[in-house]
């Protein structure tokens, strides 16, 4: 069991790497947490520095979730007293996501976990992510709220996980179902300030992303 604890700790440390903070300090000599929304995530990097920097941060954040789930858990699984490799992958992925949200290297103040969750999903079930992405993009292009798109995609995740096995597209997995039910609550928690701003009408909107605009 000590092997599993060490594995989860390594996964957490991987997720804790503060991608946006390191990049903005090295390239622009700024602390991204002191600009824009104050969040150390790809969305705020996009808002402050533009899409090129945001894509780099997002790609690295995705890697932080994918690596523990697809590589660490798979390589070390044979040495663990756990019968379900999928469960080990989920635990490693979840540890990385927690590291992303509460990174030990930056005062436990990180991003909102979306990027690393994408990496976990890509490692576990690549088919699920495009469907969640489609829902998120639909909400963003309708409302202009990236936060609402992320929340909507997270809420859709357990529904998709329950439907796809019935269609024969993925294998049923109880561990994955439980994980998918926890994801919406986690994303809602990390976006709680965004939800408050949406309700108050003060949340930033990406107007250029809105396809269907009200002309009235």
Question: Which pLDDT score is estimated for 57?
Answer: 93
Percent of the chain with pLDDT over 90: 55
Question: Which pLDDT score is estimated for 138?
Answer: 95
Question: Which pLDDT score is estimated for 206?
Answer: 81
Do residues 83 and 174 lie in contact, with contact meaning Cβ atoms separated by under 8 Å?
no
Structure tokens at 149: 């798109």
Question: Which pLDDT score is estimated for 215?
Answer: 56
DSSP helix, strand, coil percent of the chain (3-state; round to 5): 75, 0, 25
The residue among 92, 88, 89, 133 whose CA lies nearest residue 114 is: 133
Report CA-CA distances (Å) from 31 to 34, 51, 128.
6, 17, 34
Which residues of the chain fall short of a pLDDT of 50? none
Report CA-CA distances (Å) from 27 to 31, 32, 54, 141.
11, 11, 13, 31
Do residues 143 and 210 lie in contact, with contact meaning Cβ atoms separated by under 8 Å?
yes
What is the pTM for the complete model shown? 0.88
The DSSP 8-state label assigned to residue 36 in this structure reads T
CA atoms within 13 A on the CB side of 135: 15
Rounded CA gap, 145 and 203, in Å?
Answer: 8
Question: Which pLDDT score is estimated for 207?
Answer: 78
Residue whose tokens read 């994801």: 183
Q: What backbone phi and psi angles, to 5 degrees, belong to 104? A: -70, -25
């Amino acid at each position: 069991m000590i092997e599993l604890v060490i594995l989860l700790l390594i996964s957490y440390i991987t997720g804790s790497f503060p991608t946006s903070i390191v990049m903005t300090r090295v390239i622009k000599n700024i602390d991204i947490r002191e600009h824009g929304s104050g969040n150390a995530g790809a969305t705020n990097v996009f808002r402050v520095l533009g899409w090129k920097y945001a894509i780099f941060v997002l790609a690295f954040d995705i890697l932080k979730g994918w690596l523990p789930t697809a590589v660490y858990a798979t390589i070390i699984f044979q040495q663990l007293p756990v019968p379900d490799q999928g469960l080990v992958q989920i635990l490693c992925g979840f540890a990385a996501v927690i590291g992303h949200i509460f990174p030990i290297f930056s005062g436990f103040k990180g991003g909102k976990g979306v990027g690393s969750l994408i990496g976990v999903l890509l490692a576990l079930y690549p088919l699920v992510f495009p469907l969640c992405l489609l829902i998120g993009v639909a909400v963003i292009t309708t409302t202009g709220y990236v936060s609402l798109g992320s929340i909507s995609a997270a809420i859709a995740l357990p529904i998709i996980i329950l439907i796809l096995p019935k269609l024969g597209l993925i294998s049923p997995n109880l561990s994955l179902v439980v994980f998918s039910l926890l994801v919406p609550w986690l994303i809602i928690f990390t976006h709680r300030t965004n939800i408050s701003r949406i309700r108050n009408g003060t949340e930033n909107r990406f107007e250029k992303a809105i396809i269907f605009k009200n002309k009235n």
